[in-house]
């Protein structure tokens, strides 16, 4: 599998964010997109996820499932944790597992919550979670449903050192299993040796 961006351009609010952007990420590889606020890191991930239409160029996936869109083969972890406050931790993850179509049952959900350290609070409403716990619950979606492409926007936000180390382990395991990662970041995210692509400031 290989994710390709060819001469991509993005316009938001009538302003060109970036143009002429090309890259390729193969199975087992990670690409970390660096740059200041406003450079287009989040816009690029949303474009790859199919949430934003490119103003120019094209995104393609080689050797993926031809019956599915790129977005349907990807996990997109954005700035918003997308949790329903009135649902419990378990109910939130179960909803996402069903929505993402992975067929994940109770065992997969429980295993994912355990992996991110939330197994002891499964019955707690999401409204009571700290920012770090909310982020860990979002990360659990990556584990509960298998998808080969991970699009991660500032994935370490609100995570303490221990949770960052867990996330690093999840990412390395995903790459070892033949997955690929494109992550937007301001600094290191625990993927030493990953290729980097820097976006300039949008002037």
- Spatial contact of 201 and 36, defined as CB atoms under 8 Å apart: yes
- Spatial contact of 159 and 136, defined as CB atoms under 8 Å apart: yes
Q: Does residue 108 register a pLDDT over 70? A: yes
Kindly state the percentage of the chain with pLDDT values over 90: 81
Q: Does residue 57 register a pLDDT over 80? A: yes
Number of other residues whose CB lies within 10 A of the CB of residue 196: 11
More confident residue, 35 or 200: 35
Q: Does residue 102 register a pLDDT over 80? A: no
Cα three-residue angle 75-141-80, rounded to 5 degrees: 75
- The closest of 13, 176, 154 to 76, measured between CA atoms, is 154
* pLDDT computed for residue 201 by the predictor: 54
* pLDDT computed for residue 110 by the predictor: 94
* pLDDT computed for residue 100 by the predictor: 86
Spatial separation of the C-alpha atoms in residues 76 and 127, rounded to whole Å: 22
Task: Mark 80-104 as b/e (b = at least 16 C-beta within 10 Å).
Answer: ebebeeeebbbbbbbebbeebeeeb
- Spatial contact of 41 and 114, defined as CB atoms under 8 Å apart: no
The pLDDT tens digits of the residues spanning 64-98 come to: 999 999 999 999 999 888 899 999 999 999 999 99
3-state secondary structure 116-184: CCCHHHCCCEHHHCCHHHHHHHHHHHHHHCCCCEEEEECCCCCCCHHHHHHHHHHHHHHHHCCCEEEEE
pTM summary value: 0.93
For tokens 């221990």, what's the residue? 162
CATH superfamily membership of 2-198: P-loop containing nucleotide triphosphate hydrolases (3.40.50.300)
More confident residue, 47 or 193: 47
Residue range 119-134: mean pLDDT, rounded: 95
* pLDDT computed for residue 103 by the predictor: 60
């Amino acid at each position: 599998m290989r994710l390709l961006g060819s001469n991509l351009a993005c316009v938001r609010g009538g302003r060109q964010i970036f143009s002429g952007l090309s890259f390729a990420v193969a199975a087992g590889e990670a690409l970390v997109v660096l740059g200041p606020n406003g450079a287009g890191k989040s816009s690029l991930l949303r474009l790859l996820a199919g949430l934003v239409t490119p103003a120019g160029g094209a995104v393609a996936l080689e050797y993926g499932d031809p019956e599915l869109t790129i977005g349907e083969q990807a996990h997109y972890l954005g700035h918003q944790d997308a949790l329903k406050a009135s649902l419990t931790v378990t109910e939130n993850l179960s909803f996402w597992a069903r929505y993402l179509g992975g067929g994940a049952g109770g065992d997969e959900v429980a295993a994912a919550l355990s992996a991110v350290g939330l197994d002891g609070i499964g019955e707690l409403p999401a409204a009571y979670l700290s920012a770090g716990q909310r982020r860990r619950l979002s990360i659990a979606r990556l584990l509960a449903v298998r998808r080969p492409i991970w699009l991660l926007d500032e994935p370490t936000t609100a995570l303490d050192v221990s949770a960052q180390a867990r996330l690093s382990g999840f990412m390395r395991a995903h790459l070892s299993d033949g997955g690929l990662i494109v992550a937007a970041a301001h600094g290191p995210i625990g993927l030493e040796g990953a290729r980097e692509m820097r976006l300039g400031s949008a002037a």
